[in-house]
Amino acid sequence: MITVISPAKSLDFEGPLATKQKSQPKYLSESQQLVAQLKKLAPQEIASLMKLSDKLATLNFDRFQSFKPPFTPENARQALLAFRGDVYQGLDADTLSSDDFKYAQKHLRILSGLYGILKPLDLIQPYRLEMGTKFANDAGKNLYEFWGDTLNNHLQKELKKQAQPIIVNLASNEYFKAVKEKDMPYRIITPVFKDFKNGQYKILSFFAKKARGLMTRFIIQNQIDDPEGLKAFNLDGYKFDKKSSTDDSLVFLRKQ
């Protein structure tokens, strides 16, 4: 099984590293193509494109201007340790063990607007480029057209090597759209997390994001490699609800 998650807008390139293990992004040449075009944008154009404040636009202008391979521990950081935000708060990669990182490197992938798809220990430089950004480029009118079939084909090749060729989709809709689900011949399981509020169970964005991170951590630490194992997820009070689940949509409920 391969678990797929989204990246985060919040980044940390300063804190202590939980591991020195590292790898290189597979699609760095494609990233460089995008950055070459992004470098041509003025801060005001970046602000408009990404709907950012002037301060954040200037920060990301500077990031694109200073983007430069090769990536080393001195100028880059492992993706799983660089990303912060709700999902990564739940995942808490800083406390994973060496064995956890080793397992994650084989079974976890992070989708990215700039890097395409990342292994957890792939070195990245700081950036902001959400997959849904309508950035016209040499390949089309947005990033979905830029990446085309690349991410789908990449995952298919990786799934062929897995004992259970199944994707666990813990990514957001914005990012998973780039995988082209309809063209994926392998099974996709999507966990859904609902919290009880105002008399009913519903998806609450912040809690659902954190839960996706918690589930990712649960999979890594327990080295889960079959769908049945996912149903045992019980962190932070969530419980599998068979009644509202289907084979490919596993629903977890929590009464706070």
Sequence-distant (6+) residues with CB within 8 A of 3 are 107, 108, 109, 167, 168, 170, 216, 219
Let me know if residue 191 belongs to a domain: yes
Let me know if residue 158 belongs to a domain: yes
Let me know if residue 225 belongs to a domain: yes
Total of domains in the chain: 1
Residue 240's domain comprises 2-22+78-129+149-254
Give the position of tokens 């990564």: 88
Let me know if residue 42 belongs to a domain: no
Instruction: Determine the residue type at 105.
Output: Q
The tens digit of pLDDT for each residue in 175-217 reads 999 999 999 999 999 999 999 999 999 999 999 999 999 999 9
Q: How far apart are CA 23 and CA 173, in angstroms?
A: 27
Let me know if residue 234 belongs to a domain: yes
Let me know if residue 54 belongs to a domain: no
Sequence-distant (6+) residues with CB within 8 A of 240 are 231, 232, 233, 234, 250, 251, 252
Q: Is the pTM of this model over 0.85?
A: yes
Q: Which residues of 224-250 are buried (b: 16+ CB within 10 A; e: fewer)?
A: beebeebbebeeeebebbeeebeeeeb
Let me know if residue 82 belongs to a domain: yes
The tens digit of pLDDT for each residue in 53-81 reads 999 999 999 999 999 999 999 999 999 99
